[in-house]
Amino acid sequence: MFKATRTFPGLLLQYMGLALLALVLNFFLLRLAPGSPLLSLEQAEVVTALSDEQRQRLLSLYGLDKPLWMQFVDYLGRLLRADLGSSLYYNQPVSTVVWPYLERTLLVVGLGFVPAALLGLGLGLFSALNHRKPWERSLLAMLVVLQSLPPFLIALLLLLALAVLWPVFPAVSTLLPGQGPLDRLERLALPVLAYVLWEVGLFYLFARGAFLSVLGEDYLAYARAKGLPESLVIRRHLLRAALPPLVARTALILSASFGGVFFIEAVFSYPGLSSLSLIAIARFDYPLLEGIFLLTLSTILLFNLFADWLVLRLDPRVAEGM
Amino acid sequence: MSKAAVLCALVPLLLLGLGLVLPKAEAVHPPFSPPGAGLLLGADDIGQDVLRVLAHGTVTTLGVGFAAGVLATLIGVLVGGSAGYWPRLEAPLTRLTDLVLAFPRLPLLILLALYLKPNPLNAVVILALFGWPSTARTLRPAVAGLREAGYAQVARTLGASGLYVLFRHVLPQITPLLMVNLLLEIRFALVAQTGLAFLGLTDPSQPSWGLMLFQAFQQNQTFTTSYWLWTVLPPAVALTLTVLALSLPLLGDERRLDPRLRREP
């Protein structure tokens, strides 16, 4: 029988490898991509025609004239000093540019995650306790369908329903300079709602499965047989056994959801990380793009590591390789 | 449930047929014309017949989704099947699968798309490279459970090679599981392709549902006038129906609903 080596040092090693791979891909893929940062300067007609000498000076200013591997070494050195470089387009340090956008993305995730998780876990428990009733089948079918829709489609359908056909919310969630999303709650509503609808099905399926598998255990039948009231059976036996692994997996869902938020934001033109990266892509702003992807990737990897560690701690079956 | 799935599949399949028959859309109509006689779905911002764009987009979208899904399933079968059948390969292949599965695939997909501006062909390859681990992960235990089955042992005793036993005796036993995985892989590829196109990260000369949505979102009057009715709604409805057609057959199989096997973006 295959023995999984699921230990914390093993996990850490695996994630360090992944992080290094991410760094390398992040750096080289962008450098090998067609286009150049000078191209966008020329297109912007700030500089209509650069002389060869000016071009050279600009390139060496940003260190773009060195061979690729030396640029990579420079890059690693800067990362060690926690310096993400400065954006070519905004002419400001990358961290200064990225921070407000990252904040707004985290706001959507934060506001959407808790209701989605609570609703999903609640519905899952309810569904498991009423297993095999006809309406439970319909609830299951509904949430399976919802869960199968990609995030940008959910966002798009919401946009069509609640901003175009029945315009209760603005279709576009852009913000004026100096405005925070909390000043314009109606612009935050649709992205958050889309996030909740997209995630709730996944939480529900996880929870329903976990509760159902515990409900099938003999010790639950025993607890009922010895005459414990149903509420105590649920609280002491069902929740205590099913919740810890569920909580751990919730962390996994959270980290996976960063990808979906990207699309939801794009549908509503919400000024989060996705709109910033689309700007950076259009301008060939390498340092900015690298900063965005580095932050996104490391956030996701850290969350994954945390979630895997939680699973290990809370669900001994995983550690035993079952 | 499968009746409903067939019903949902009718629309995309009809569009696919149209796409294979109709000539390519040309910019010959007045831009932004609403639907009317001869122009069932109106015209877009450069005066192309939206129905033709939609039909040709269906060919790309379904084609990429289907091809990438099949390729991903094949890789998954090879990796997961080998890991399950040969005990010596189990540890390294499982580790490889977990590694790819643990990598945040969406940011990486975007990075790759940025680099390649995928035409349909390399989109298929990229999406397949991201899709296979979930199939490999489901198949390994299923194959491992069957490798010591009586008929497999008999076949080996008669001198059959490992590959022969795997493909001739073991895999046919888990055909339903394979089919379900194929649907999931196609769904993933199709959705990911549409998402990337929606962000404007695919080849702009290849019409697809995602690209249609991207282009409609570029226009200022899309949602302030009724322009969205014939440019946003048709691809959105086609995508919804396709996703439903690919998801509804899964409802019957409750085991597949366990999301622990997947890490979805």
Q: What is the CA angle B108-B248-A160, rounded to 5?
A: 65
Rounded Cα–Cα distance for residues A209 and B7 (Å): 29
Q: Is position B32 within any domain?
A: no
Are A103 and A180 within 8 A, CB to CB? no
Residue of A nearest to B189 (CA): A150
Nearest to A256 among B114, B228, B263 (CB): B263
Residue B262 has pLDDT above 60, yes or no: no
Contacts of B228 in chain A (CB under 8 A): 160, 164
CATH number for the domain that contains residue B69: 1.10.3720.10
3-state secondary structure of B78: helix
Across chain B, mean pLDDT equals 86
Residue B256 has pLDDT above 60, yes or no: no
Q: Domain A94-319 falls in which CATH fold?
A: MetI-like fold (1.10.3720)
Contacts of A33 in chain B (CB under 8 A): 114-115
Asked if A153 and B236 come within 8 Å (Cβ–Cβ), the reply is yes
Asked if A209 and B98 come within 8 Å (Cβ–Cβ), the reply is no
Rounded Cα–Cα distance for residues A248 and A267 (Å): 30
3-state secondary structure of A93: strand
- What predicted TM-score, i.e. pTM, was given to this entire model? 0.83
Residue B257 has pLDDT above 70, yes or no: no
Are B96 and B256 within 8 A, CB to CB? no
Contacts of A301 in chain B (CB under 8 A): 104
- Which amino acid is it at B229? L
Mean pLDDT computed over A119-139: 89
Mean pLDDT computed over A9-14: 81
Asked if A144 and B250 come within 8 Å (Cβ–Cβ), the reply is yes
Nearest to A25 among B106, B111, B248 (CB): B111
Contacts of B260 in chain A (CB under 8 A): 206, 209, 249
Domain that holds residue B243: 3-17+44-259
Under the banding of pLDDT at 50, 70 and 90, the label for residue B263 is very low
Q: ipTM value, please give it.
A: 0.82
Q: How many independent structural domains does chain B possess?
A: 1
Q: Give me the residue spans of the domains in chain A.
A: 8-80, 94-319
Contacts of B108 in chain A (CB under 8 A): 22, 25, 297
Asked if B98 and A163 come within 8 Å (Cβ–Cβ), the reply is no
- In this prediction, residue A6 carries a pLDDT of 63
**Neighbouring residues of A89: CB distance < 8 A, sequence distance ≥ 6:** A40, A279, A280, A283, A285, A288
Segment among A107-116, A216-225, B176-185 with least mean pLDDT:
A216-225
